[in-house]
A = this chain, B = another copy of it.
Amino acid sequence: MSQLGMLIIVSAPSGTGKNAVIRELTKKDSNIFYSVSATTRNPRNKEENGVNYFFLSREKFENMIINKQLIEWDEYVNNYYGTPKKFIEDMTKKGNDVILEITVEGAVNVKEIWPEAVMIFLLPPSMEELRNRITNRNTECIESINKRMISAESELKYVNDYEYVVINDDLAYAVNQIEEIIHAERLKTIRNKNIVNKLVRRKK
Which A residues fall within an 8 A CB radius of B?
Answer: 121, 123-124, 126-128, 131, 149, 153, 156-157, 159-160, 162-167, 177, 180-181, 183-185, 187-189, 192, 195-196, 199-200, 202-204
Contact = CB atoms under 8 A, between A and B. Distances in A.
Q: Decide if the interface of chain A is mainly helix, strand, loop or mixed.
A: helix
Contacts of A127: 199, 202-204
A195 B159 CA distance: 11
Given A165-B187, A180-B183, 13 more contacts: A121-B189, A127-B199, A127-B202, A127-B204, A149-B204, A162-B189, A164-B187, A164-B188, A165-B189, A180-B180, A183-B184, A184-B184, A184-B185
Count copies of this chain in the complex. Answer: 2
Contact of A199 (B126, B166, B184, B195): B126
A204 to B, nearest CB: 5
A117 to B, nearest CB: 15
A204 B127 CA distance: 5
Contacts of A180: 180, 183-184, 187
A127 B196 CA distance: 11
5 contacts: A159-B196, A165-B188, A180-B180, A181-B184, A184-B185
Contacts of A123: 195-196, 199
Contacts of A163: 188-189
A24 to B, nearest CB: 17
A200 B153 contact: yes
B131 A204 contact: yes
A197 to B, nearest CB: 10
